[in-house]
Chain A
Amino acid sequence: MSAGRAIPIARRLRHDRMLLIACLSATTLAVAVLSALLISVFIQGLSSLDWHFLSSYASRKAANAGILAPLMGTLWVCAICGLIAVPLGVATALYLEEYAPRTRLRSLVQLNIANLSGVPSIVYGILGLAAFARCFGAISTDDPWTLGSPDSLFFLQLPFGRGVLAGGLTLALVVLPIMIIAAQEALRTVPKSLRHAALALGSTRWQVVWKVTLPAALPTMMTGAILSMSRAIGEAAPLLVIGGVLLLFSVPENLMSDFTVLPLQIYNWAGRPQDDFHKIAAGAIIVQLVLLLLFNSVALFIRHKLQRPLQ
């Protein structure tokens, strides 16, 4: 004899169906949101897309405005960011996964990296402003040390000022923790047995890393690199602190040049009350999304190639 009162099967099935319905509606909503976003952006922005838009500088009149300066600025800044953050992230991940003894200190460093990934990006802007743009005040910005002529491609100065280099380095700080964590995860997917095989043949630790672990982890690492660079392309807040929102009539010429980036240009136009500017903001968003897509597919293509190096 069972003592409890049975829960009617109908009610249990009702719960079951309700859960399914809830899940389905949540998922549908998520998909609907994305569609609404893309559709509304495309409806507003398609009309402003033409060659003129891509090849001219900003203007006070929406109809004449273009995105040449922010587009080039984005490319410069992201290139610098990638060149710094990806190798640095991989190196740190290698140290933590392949070299560091498993001590308390290592867990602290690890926790620190997790914390860095949670720091709001605008705070990195503040750090970048102090460290890169102003050298912590160690050298006066009015009287910088310079190297080369300001017109040349190789012009450098210290402090960097509010130029492309300061922006790229700041973005590198923003995405570094993401890159480190992704690279670590990639390294962890490499089976121990491969490392042991290489060690047993008399490899040094670095040889194991360079010849076995890194090649095996590379495709997965590419995903991490894509992820971090996508983040970098879309970041505006830290660059806003570094460079401000500028209406530029030139493209960067060297690492010290002033710059603006697409997200900042979008911010600037979207923040204006006139509808015309909203239209060109939407146009710039489309360019930004296409850029993102392009970047992702190139990276996916490379990754695909890497994954099957043989045959």
Chain B
Amino acid sequence: MMPTVIQIPSPVDPSAEGATPDRASEPAVSMAKAIQLRGFSAWYSAHQVLSAVDLDIAANRVCALIGPSGCGKSTLLRWMNRMNDTILGARASGSLHLHGLQVLSPDLDVVDLRRRVGMVFQKPNPFPKSIFDNVAFGPRLHRQYGRTDLEELVEQSLRSSALWTEVKDRLHRSALGLSGGQQQRLCIARAIAVDPEVLLMDEPCSALDPRSTASIEELIRELRETYTIVIVTHNMQQASRVSDTTAFFDEGRLIETGETDEVFTAPRERRTEDYVSGRFG
């Protein structure tokens, strides 16, 4: 079941080694490298999807991954929390360090990795449980909480995804009764509740209306103070609005990466320029 994970020991000693796990006391903005990829390649069976990607993503910043459909953005994201383990024939090589963890290592405790790296999916996928139980799901997996602690945790998580005021009177009703935008914010709250270090978002707004999108974008900008966020988006304006850095991929290669302003206003590469200005293809 487990795909073969080829681990090529990285010559680069990741500066993120020993990044303190106790982030609550860390300064809000740190330029420490949260995620570092060197020579990262990925395959589905024999089909190579990413080749030799070198990318650094700084802690407490928002990094947008952009690029045409099929260029491997989701694949990269799904390797960061090893969700690709669920896909038969998925392989990767190179190195992927995340807060000092060697993500591709076969000995890695993926369960712990996924606790530290939250993920928000393209389509909202709340459990068919109550709103409260959705948010409490993750915390209950990893720790034993007192009742009041758990209630407070759920409240703060819902507040941090700006959903609290809308749902505080119906915490014990089914999450499936929420609107799409609310469901997506619930999924964000659910991811936040396990105290992750990194949040991965794969086109989190693509199934939502503009107003819900706006509220989630605002959320992302606020959450970056606490989390490192990697977001995949097809919406160039969204990328420029929410992200600090942008990485542009095409045909499985990283074409360009840098501060978002630069990538959008003064791209170094012709292909990037074509893509961000909509002249692509």
Contacts and interface: CB of A to CB of B under 8 A. Distances in A.
The contact size tier of chain A is 20 to 34
Nearest to A103: B1
Given A101-B1, A196-B121, A310-B174, A203 B111 contact: yes
B86 A201 contact: no
Contact of A212 (B112, B119, B127, B174): B127
A310 B130 contact: yes
B191 interface: yes
Contacts of A100: 1
A198 B119 contact: no
Interface in A179-212: 191, 193-204, 207, 211-212
Nearest to A191: B125
Nearest to A216: B128
Interface residues of B, number: 32
A200 B173 contact: no
Nearest to B114: A202
A203 B86 CA distance: 13
Interface in B48-97: 81, 83, 86, 88
Q: Pick the most buried of A194, A199, A212: most chain B CB atoms within 10 A of its CB.
A: A199
B106 to A, nearest CB: 16
Interface string A106-144: 000000000000000000000000000000000000000
Contacts of A197: 121, 125-127, 187, 190
A196 B77 CA distance: 14
Contacts of B118: 200-201
A100 B88 CA distance: 12
Contacts of B113: 202
Contacts of B112: 202
Q: Pick the most buried of A195, A203, A216, A310: most chain B CB atoms within 10 A of its CB.
A: A310
A193 B121 contact: yes
B160 to A, nearest CB: 16
Contacts of B168: none
Contacts of B86: 195-196, 199
Interface of B: 1, 81, 83, 86, 88, 111-116, 118-119, 121, 123, 125-130, 137-138, 141-142, 172-174, 187, 190-191, 194
Interface of A: 99-102, 191, 193-204, 207, 211-212, 215-216, 310-311
